[in-house]
């Protein structure tokens, strides 16, 4: 683990109260860890919009009986400028499937692929989670 450094900061009392409330609602017992995670999230967000290489996870729920959908899902992934690192396909019912796709590339290109997949007829839900290549966690 990296060397820890102590800092001090000044906050308005109302801001500190809001921070404590968010910390409690998010289940953090330790204020320092909560603030570290807020900073890491901000670093990852900036990486995502800066054009740097990032990772994302796209979760899809879709009706696999929709004519031609499986082929379109695969085709869009193969012809995208982003790299599909892994994909997991799960049968939720006779008709409904879930797929989790881990993607690496430029944030805007990942968002473009996610939007293309989301618009396909038969896709019931698509959720993109933005991630970091790890710089936010060093």
49-78 pLDDT per residue, tens: 888 899 999 999 999 999 999 999 999 999
The stretches in the chain having pLDDT less than 70 are 1, 134-138
Torsion angle, CA of 1/107/105/137, rounded to 10 degrees?
A: 0
Note the pLDDT of residue 138: 55
pTM of the model: 0.75
Q: What is the radius of gyration, based on Cα positions, of the chain?
A: 19
The residues that bridge with 126 in the sheet, in sequence order, are 60
55 by Cβ neighbours in 10 Å (0-12 / 13-18 / 19+) ranks as buried
Give dist(CA 75, CA 96) in Å, integer.
Answer: 20
């Amino acid at each position: 683990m990296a060397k820890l450094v102590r800092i001090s900061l000044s906050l308005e009392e109302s801001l500190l109260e809001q921070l404590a409330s968010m910390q409690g609602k998010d289940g953090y017992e330790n204020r320092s860890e909560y603030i570290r995670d807020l900073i890491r999230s901000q670093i990852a967000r900036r990486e995502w919009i800066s054009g740097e290489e990032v990772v994302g996870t796209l979760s899809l729920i879709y009706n696999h009986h929709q004519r031609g959908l499986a082929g379109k899902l695969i085709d869009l992934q193969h012809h995208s400028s982003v790299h599909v690192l892994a994909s997991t396909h799960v049968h939720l019912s006779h008709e409904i499937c879930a797929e989790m796709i881990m993607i690496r590339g430029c944030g805007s290109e990942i968002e473009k692929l996610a939007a293309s997949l989301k618009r396909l007829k038969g896709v019931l839900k698509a959720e993109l989670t933005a991630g970091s290549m790890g710089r936010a966690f060093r």
